[in-house]
Chains A and B, each alone.
Chain A
Amino acid sequence: MSIIGWWLGAASVANFVASMVLEIVAVWYPEFEIHNWHQYLIYVCLTWISVAANVFGSAWIPAFNKMLFVLAVLTLSSTMLTLFIVSRNNHADASFIFGDATSRTGWSSNGWSFMLAVGNAVYSFLGSDCSAHLCEEIANPAKMVPRVIVWPLLVGLLTAFPFAVSLMYSITDLDAVFNTSAGLPLIEIYYQGTGSRVAASVLLAFFAFCFFGNLVANGMCYAHLKIWIT
């Protein structure tokens, strides 16, 4: 059962990375028609690359993870600073960022829609139990494993909240965010925040690479689970 859970998590990550790649294409070539099979083929290719990285390059995976951690910290801080600083003249006002909780779905109750949003937010926190499955591979597991489970969650929450604030800060046209042509609103937010296609593409490329690193680590944990069936 947990194997199916990891499959679905990896599939969702690969789907997001594929749609991000197509987003960058759509920004630079707006007349290029994007079909669903484009996204599917990129998704399959990404899955195969992460599997190949795990099968053939498994000795470099810990070093890759450490590099990815540093890259993630750098990307996160640079994206936040860029969005805050570049859009300092035309940004959303505070009542919009912290006070506007109306839902634009068709549900008649705003509270139910907010509960759906909480369920969506839990997606950001999945995957923290990988260390419970790897606890045979760390020294002094009884003391270290709870720390490795809870501390990254705490750090993740503390980093994701300012990042989300910076995303909301740079939205100037909410309707354009909902009606993007390629399906992922993130690049529209980056474009509204920075005002240039180059900056939005570069930021999204780093974002997609960090997400791809997550896919490789996901494959490693999945292979681990598959071998030990736990």
Chain B
Amino acid sequence: MTQSNLQEVRVDDLELEAAGYHRAMPRRFTFWALAALSFDLTCTWLGTGSSVGISLTEAGPAGTLWSLVIAGGMTMIVSAGMGELASAYPVAGEINNKVHLFVVGSTLIVFQVRSIIGLSW
């Protein structure tokens, strides 16, 4: 790793320590490795090919295509919010613990929202 890389990594660790967390896993993913992993895990085209039979039964060919676009748009809106939260709390899985800060309501509703968000992913 170059010197600037080392400094970057130390800055990230210091920011994490300032937030109260100790980094527990080595930072070994590059951007492209994580993007490739994310592309593999989402595997949009594979899921589309596998569920094409059900889509054809339910909505026909045009419905398959346009429902994909609609679902993609909705998922991107939700992911934009998720990305913003993940950027604010860059600790593994911290979003699930911090949901109660963004929900106004009683404890029961907060617990349900937290579990629903955790389950929906």
Q: Are A156 and B119 in contact (CB under 8 A)?
A: no
Whether a CB of chain A sits under 8 angstroms from the CB of B86 is: yes
- Report the Cα distance A35→B72, complex, angstroms: 36
- Which segment of A26-34, A113-121, A191-199 sits at the interface? A113-121
Binding site for A on B (CB under 8 A): 5, 8-9, 12, 15-16, 23-72, 74-76, 79-80, 82-84, 86-88, 90-97, 115, 118-121
Q: Are A96 and B51 in contact (CB under 8 A)?
A: no
Contact residue among B33, B35, B63 (Cβ-Cβ distance under 8 Å from A103) = B63
Residues of A close to B46: CB separation below 8 A: 72, 124, 207, 210-211, 214
Contact residue among A69, A120, A217 (Cβ-Cβ distance under 8 Å from B54) = A120
Residues of A close to B33: CB separation below 8 A: 62, 65-66
Contacting residues of chain A (100-123) with chain B, CB-CB under 8 angstroms: 100-105, 113-114, 116-123
Contact residue among B16, B69, B119 (Cβ-Cβ distance under 8 Å from A161) = B69
Given the known inter-chain contacts A150-B76, A189-B52, please indicate yes or no for A168 contacting B86, CB distance below 8 A. no
Q: Are B75 and A125 in contact (CB under 8 A)?
A: yes
| Minimum Cβ distance to chain A for residue B80 (Å) | 6
Residues of B close to A189: CB separation below 8 A: 52
Q: Are A117 and B58 in contact (CB under 8 A)?
A: yes
Q: Are A134 and B92 in contact (CB under 8 A)?
A: yes
Whether a CB of chain B sits under 8 angstroms from the CB of A221 is: yes
- Report the Cα distance A12→B49, complex, angstroms: 14
Given the known inter-chain contacts A114-B63, A156-B44, please indicate yes or no for A136 contacting B25, CB distance below 8 A. yes
Given the known inter-chain contacts A114-B63, A163-B45, please indicate yes or no for A152 contacting B38, CB distance below 8 A. yes
| Minimum Cβ distance to chain A for residue B114 (Å) | 8
Q: Are A130 and B48 in contact (CB under 8 A)?
A: no
In the complex formed, the residue of A with least CB distance to B16 is: A136
- Report the Cα distance A221→B57, complex, angstroms: 33
Q: Are B29 and A177 in contact (CB under 8 A)?
A: no
In the complex, how many residues of chain A place their beta carbon closer than 8 angstroms to a beta carbon of chain B? 95
- Report the Cα distance A130→B29, complex, angstroms: 13
Given the known inter-chain contacts A102-B60, A145-B83, please indicate yes or no for A214 contacting B41, CB distance below 8 A. yes
Q: Are B79 and A139 in contact (CB under 8 A)?
A: no
Q: Are B58 and A135 in contact (CB under 8 A)?
A: no
- Report the Cα distance A150→B76, complex, angstroms: 7
In the complex formed, the residue of A with least CB distance to B1 is: A139
Contact residue among A16, A136, A157 (Cβ-Cβ distance under 8 Å from B92) = A136
Residues of B close to A147: CB separation below 8 A: 31, 35, 83
Contact residue among A124, A135, A224 (Cβ-Cβ distance under 8 Å from B47) = A124
Contact residue among B23, B58, B60, B69 (Cβ-Cβ distance under 8 Å from A116) = B58
Q: Are A146 and B64 in contact (CB under 8 A)?
A: no
Q: Are B29 and A157 in contact (CB under 8 A)?
A: no
- Report the Cα distance A124→B8, complex, angstroms: 35
| Minimum Cβ distance to chain B for residue A70 (Å) | 9
When A and B form their complex, which 5 residue pairs have the shortest distance between CB atoms, in order from nearest? A230-B93, A156-B44, A146-B83, A124-B47, A185-B53
Q: Are B26 and A137 in contact (CB under 8 A)?
A: yes
20 A-B pairs whose Cβ atoms sit less than 8 Å apart in the complex: A1-B115, A100-B60, A105-B58, A121-B64, A123-B47, A127-B43, A135-B91, A135-B92, A137-B26, A139-B30, A145-B86, A150-B80, A153-B75, A157-B72, A157-B76, A161-B68, A164-B65, A178-B57, A210-B46, A230-B94
